[in-house]
Amino acid sequence: MLTDPAVRAFVAAVNAGDREAFRGVLTEDATMSDDGSERDLAQWTDREIFDAGGHMDIESESEDGRALIVRFRNDTWGEMRTSWRFEVADNGRVSRFETGQV
């Protein structure tokens, strides 16, 4: 079980392939980056997660559950070891996440 409730809900939504639950975990103005480049969050998550069967297997967490090392896999790229960092707003929703290969 992941420590941070917002991060836990984020991972659960990704692994369930649940776009609606995923959107509910994010702030309306949430942002993201992939390998240091800013991305359009909706386009990236559709392409890399929801349309490609994305799945997160957690290896470890740190920073009170807001930093993860994950074996991420999808139908496009296969499996890769990635880091994920999350910022959580006062309302308990993810306002930003950053991911990239380790």
- pLDDT at residue 99, rounded to an integer: 98
Residue 90's domain comprises 5-101
| Domains identified in the chain, total number | 1
- Residue that is written with structure tokens 């836990």 in the block: 8
Average pLDDT, 10 consecutive residues per value, the chain (102 residues): 96 98 98 98 98 98 98 97 98 98 96
- pLDDT at residue 81, rounded to an integer: 98
Contact (CB, 8 A) for 99 and 82: yes
Q: Could you tell me how many residues make up the chain?
A: 102
CATH of residue 70: 3.10.450.50
- pLDDT at residue 35, rounded to an integer: 96
Cα separation, 62 vs 43, in Å, equals: 28
